[in-house]
Amino acid sequence: MQIHSDTITGRFAPSPTGALHTGSLVAAVGSWLMAKSAGGRWLLRMDDLDTPRQVAGMEDDIMRTLEDYGLEWDGEISRQSRHLDRYQQAFEQLQQLGVIYPCCCSRKEISQTASAPRPDDDTLPYPGTCRDGMRPGVPVRSWRVRVTDEELCFDDRRRGPVCQVLQQRCGDFALRRGDGEFAYQLAVVVDDADTGVNQVVRGDDLLASTPRQIFLQRLLGLPQPGYCHLPLVCGPGGEKLSKRDNLVSHQPGNSPGREGRLLWNILGFLGQEPPQEMFGAACGEILQWGVLHFDATRIPLTGGELRLS
């Protein structure tokens, strides 16, 4: 059931495949502040469709880590693994529209025929091999949605106008694997609509996939949220952090004030410049300052390193 409201509703949607790192914590803090500074709600969703890569205990660790930093969520936690019937409904709706088709191509085959992936995304542009039918006697590896050669544009709150031609950028992209598992692009669109999310704040690494999600929203007749993609935390050489870098997992017995020091640095990373005297203060105090003074226009256009203390 879709929820329609004038209230800002943001969300944070980690995958329980590992502990939070500084980059994911920046996304959590940024989305929390943007929602709360507008008097809105902030939801927590576990994107747990990738069952083989999940790590036991990580969901609980993520929740405890958010609580350590004062990031309290509204309502019950949502889990993608419990929404399979809704993804199926959306999939069948797209089937009825005649915009999806089966594909037998493996990633290796696509890499041999497609142009190289873009540097900001690991997507291999699909060349449309199975658009007019699969080779006989081969299994279905995925189901793809037909995209168009029209330019799709949206306004990102930090980056401004962003335009992309899906046919050139990614080609017909996958919505479901041959084994039945639904793809992230379809699941996230359905989940955001069903929970009334109208403000999506996340890292720059997901900017390139946003036009795909907007394309699906339009096909399914779903509302389009506002988007803001935050600068990425980088390593010393300017490379993007991996999920193993700079972990901020919940660890009982951490040095006193550790969370307050990192949270103060995160607000600075987001261009908010909290007072020096608040360095190492209680997280609730720092977040309250952030709610009262948050200014999205101060978020920098580029990322960089982030101090852990």
Q: Containing domain of residue 237, as a range?
A: 9-81+196-206+225-298
Residue 37 lies in a domain: yes
Q: Are residues 57 and 200 in the same domain?
A: yes
Could you tell me if residue 304 is inside a domain? Answer: no
Q: Which of 154, 185, 216 is the last residue of a domain?
A: 185
User: Model confidence over 5-50: pLDDT tens digits?
Assistant: 579 999 999 999 888 989 999 999 999 999 999 999 999 999 999 8
39 lies in the same domain as 162: no
Same domain, 242 and 275: yes
214-226 confidence digits (pLDDT tens): 999 999 999 999 9
- Is 212 a domain residue? no
Residue 4 lies in a domain: no
133 and 99 within one domain: yes
Residues 90 and 142 in one domain: yes
CB contact set of 276 (below 8 Å; sequence gap of 6+):
none
Q: Return the number of other C-beta atoms located less than 10 Å from residue 168's C-beta.
A: 12
Residue 200 pLDDT more than 70? yes
Asked if the model's pLDDT at residue 276 lies above 90, the reply is: yes
Residue 145 lies inside a defined structural domain of this protein: yes
Average pLDDT, rounded, for the chain: 90
Mark whether 114 and 21 lie in a shared domain.
Answer: no
Q: Are residues 244 and 118 in the same domain?
A: no
Strand, helix or coil for residue 55: coil
Check whether residue 155 and residue 243 sit in a common domain. no
121 with 28, same domain? no
Domain membership flag for residue 305: no
| 58/90 same-domain check | no
From the list 271, 285, 292, the residue with the least C-alpha distance to 30 is 271
DSSP 154-173: EEETTTEEEEEEHHHHT-S-
**Sign of the CA dihedral with 295 first, then 296, 297, and 298 last:** positive
- Please give the single-letter amino acid code of residue 255: S
φ, ψ for residue 216, nearest 5 deg: -70, -40
Sequence letter at residue 214? I
Task: Provide the residue type at 262 as one letter.
Answer: L
**pLDDT by residue (tens digit) across 104-159?**
998 888 887 755 555 556 678 899 999 999 999 899 999 999 999 999 999 999 99
* CATH code for position 178: 3.90.800.10
| 308 within domain boundaries | no
Tell me, yes or no, whether 93 and 163 share the same domain.
yes
Q: Which of 297, 294, 303, 302 is nearest to 273 (CA)?
A: 294
Q: Which CATH number covers residue 266?
A: 3.40.50.620
The verdict on residue 69 lying in a domain is yes
Tokens of 32: 């929390």
Sign of dihedral through CA atoms 193, 197, 199, 202?
Answer: negative
What domain count does the chain have?
A: 2
Separation of alpha carbons 262 and 119, rounded Å: 29
CA distances from 64 to 72, 93, 158, 206, 219 (A): 10, 38, 30, 25, 38
Statement: the pTM of the whole predicted model exceeds 0.95: no
Is 240's pLDDT higher than 70?
Answer: no
Same domain, 140 and 279: no
Q: In what order do the strands lie in the sheet with 9-12?
A: 9-12, 41-46, 78-79
